[in-house]
Amino acid sequence: MALFNKIIATALPILPRWFVRPFANPYVAGETFEEAKYHIRALNEKGFKTTIDILGEHVESKEEARKITQAYCDLYASIEAEKLDCNVSIKPTHIGLSISLAETMANVHLIANAAKNTDNFLRLDMENSPYTDATFELLDHCKSIHAQTGIVLQAYLHRSMDDVHRLSASDFNVRICKGIYQESEQIAYQSETEISEHFFSLVQAVIKKSGYCAIATHDLTLVSKIESWVAENNIPKDQFEFQVLYGVPMEGRLESLAKKGYTVRIYVPFGSAWFDYSVRRLKENPKIISYVLKNFFKGK
């Protein structure tokens, strides 16, 4: 069965979208906010906080970047109207960073104001290394408008510890993740062991420098290591949170963390660009394929 799952996962990019859709459903909360809000509310009722993301990246026109920008501004208003425990994460290339920094700066200015007007949080996701420094420029601009703005640092990049030191000059909120892009060994760690060790060191550094740390990983061993460290060092529970992607199996660990009083936040993606995102998730976790097929034939 494992081999069958792997073969299907490899073939997914060339299969029809209608075929992939049932396998994508566990990872994507719908194509519209109207669909996604029900999943978010259900997570809130279970005690989880959420962050929402409109799927997509690398828009090719200013018109499309501005359309996505308006969608994010509207999203803040919708979250407030629905009284959801949810903040917002955006990919800079989704609002124009692969077009120009100036275009993105104008767009993120509007989004930061929307976050401020609704007293909500804004997270700037980090993409591959050509955009790292520009994303920090966007962060500085957003924070000049709205203090509740945070960034993401990737544990596989050598530079990330230096970035922690730079950010610690003021109040800062950082999500630490491992990183998903292919980067050269000149700038990035290549082994899982090195990346995990750097991840742990980054979490420790952010907390020791009085930053707020969003610990974003599905690595259960790493979660256990961090949980032990925060308990042994009496780290206040309001200085960090655990984050995971919507739909990724965690063997009951999220419920366990929440019962212990830790903040757990689920990253909930939605949107019409669900196909490529779902293919990535299914390649990472091919077991979901047999699970979906089993339920399908059971239903029949």
Q: Find out whether 229 and 208 touch, Cβ atoms under 8 Å.
A: no
Q: Find out whether 178 and 223 touch, Cβ atoms under 8 Å.
A: no
- Give 171-230 as a DSSP string: --EEEEE---S---TTTB--SHHHHHHHHHHHHHHHHHTT-EEEEE---HHHHHHHHHHH
Set 53, 123, 125, 281: catalytic member: 125
- CA 157 – CA 274 distance, rounded (Å): 27
| 140 tagged catalytic | no
- Conformational region of residue 171, where left means phi above 0, alpha means psi within -120 to 50, and beta covers everything else: beta
Set 123, 163, 175, 281: catalytic member: 175
From the CB of residue 136, how many other CB atoms can be counted at a distance below 10 Å? 16
Nearest to 213, CA basis, from 160, 278, 252: 160
The DSSP bridge partners found for residue 270 are: 54
Nearest to 276, CA basis, from 6, 55, 5: 55
- CA 243 – CA 256 distance, rounded (Å): 14
Nearest to 123, CA basis, from 51, 18, 203: 51
What's CA 235's distance to the chain center, in Å?
Answer: 24
Nearest to 115, CA basis, from 94, 146, 137: 146
- Using a 10 angstrom Cβ sphere, with 0-12 exposed, 13-18 middle and 19 or more buried, the burial of residue 253 is middle
| 21 tagged catalytic | no
Catalytic residue ranges:
125, 175
